[in-house]
Amino acid sequence: MKRALTLLAPAALAACLACPPALAQAAAPVSPVPAAVSSAAQQFTLKNGMQLIVQPDRRAPTAVHMVWVRVGAMDEVDGTSGVAHALEHMMFKGSKRLRPGEFSRRVAALGGQENAFTSWDYTGYYQQIPASRLQEVMQLEADRFAHNQWPDAEFTKEIEVIKEERRMRTEDNPRALLMEQLYAASYVAFPYHRPIIGWMGDLDALTPDDVRAFHRQWYVPGNAVVVVAGDVDAAQVRAWAEKTYGSIAARALPVRKPRPEPAQRGIRRVEVKAPAEQAYVALAFHVPRIARVDEGMTAQDRDALALLVLSAVLSGYDGARLERALTQGASRVADSANSGASVLGRGPGLFLLTGVPAAGQSAEAVEHALRAQVARIAQDGVDPAELERVKTQWMASNIYERDSVMNQAQQLGSYWVLGMPLDAEDRLLAQLRTITPQQVQDVAARYFGDDALTVATLRPQPLDGKPPRPAPAPGARLH
């Protein structure tokens, strides 16, 4: 399982699945970033339409190899929820050349580590290996991308692993169950209303041919990018990519139908009853997403950036507003309180406020206190020094993240999924630097009304006293 990062993509709220890298930084002027890290990426188109991005970084003899496919849970149809994630599992179960499980054994024999991740927006596969073994890993990954193949019996076993993953990550986790219900209620038409792992009833009915058909439809060269970061030569990687991935036959993609989310016309409320020690409340407001990072940025793009800054002001650092106002002092109402702006994704955005009531306090009191903090910013604004602190912390965090070749590859792949350029991170950070206190105050006043709001409340039930669920069988892939 890839680490879940907050603030941006809807996938950040998936209980067990990955999401795009979080933005970090902004301040004036931009702090220097080593040139070998910030500007060396090159992008190529292979002869079959597959994209290749190479980011040389010579600081250590290692490389990260990733394949990102622009398909995820949002591309499923009703009745087959969870099929994108199920296919991710089945990609480890064999090809025309490899037996089930042999892919992972071969990567390990090369001295590498590997895994995969699924979100609403994309599916990805990665290996971190000694740079000298990159060509061999590219051959392995290209083979299973083009020729994923396994017997029905392997699916029959693996779907039970996936169901157990759903039980562990969602059904036995009250807050994850609440968030699943929050998304199901927040989105009516857009497919973010379906859980990435799938509804249990759909998993019960899913067939091997459903998974094979999904692979056939979407695992098309023109719908994927290979990302390589590390101690590599771009020309050599390109040559290897043409021999491996470039030999896969080009095929047409299915037509993607627009599924716009209709305007919400009043507050929605969801209650979830589950065994738990504490209540929990989550508020989701419909907000715009960032669609462009170039000169064509719209007013909505700018609003989405300001909402990112607003979230950081509320809970982006130790002692931020929500922590100070809700969890400290004699009048504290919450044990914890947080915010998040999911504004980088293929679909519409949400702004979330969450909190855990303190002893003797109700979920309703926390809901009121969370909204009061946003209303306070809408009325009184933010201090320029407060905004500068947020931007400075973003800057420092981003520079640290660029020390990791894995983070570099993640950023390049996730921005490619969104159709953004190689320098999208730098462009976004430059734009974030320009957000003013007035813009933050303005979005706080415009996007947090009842008509955009869905509230989900966890009502704790007595703990059932059941023993913990047994650990998965050795070798089971939970991600």
Just list the catalytic residues: 88
* Residue tagged 């407060």 (tokens): 386
Cβ(454)–Cβ(182) below 8 Å: yes
Give the bridge partners for 130, in sequence order.
Answer: 62
**Token digits for 348?**
């519409």
Residues 215 and 35: beta-carbon distance below 8 Å: no
- Asked if 69 contacts 416 with a C-beta cutoff of 8 angstroms, the reply is no
Task: Look at residues 275, 49, 48, 228 and name the one whose alpha carbon lies nearest to residue 126.
Answer: 228
Give the H/E segment covering residue 371: helix 363-380
CB 429 within 8 A of CB 30: yes
Residues 123 and 118: their CA atoms lie apart, in Å, by 4
Q: DSSP states of 134-179 as a string?
A: HHHHHHHHHHHHHHB---HHHHHHHHHHHHHHHIIIIIT-HHHHHH
Cα–Cα distance, 330 to 327 (Å, whole number): 9
Torsion of CA 153, 159, 162, 164, to 10 degrees: -90
Tokens describing residue 246:
């470039």
Q: What is the dihedral of CA 148, 154, 157, 161, to 10 degrees?
A: -20
Q: How far apart are the C-alpha atoms of 231 and 237, rounded to whole Å?
A: 11
Distance in angstroms between the alpha carbons of the first and the last residue of the chain? 4
Is the CB of residue 432 less than 8 Å from the CB of residue 308? yes
Q: How far from the centroid of its chain's Cα atoms is residue 357's Cα?
A: 27
Q: Give the DSSP letter of residue 251.
A: -
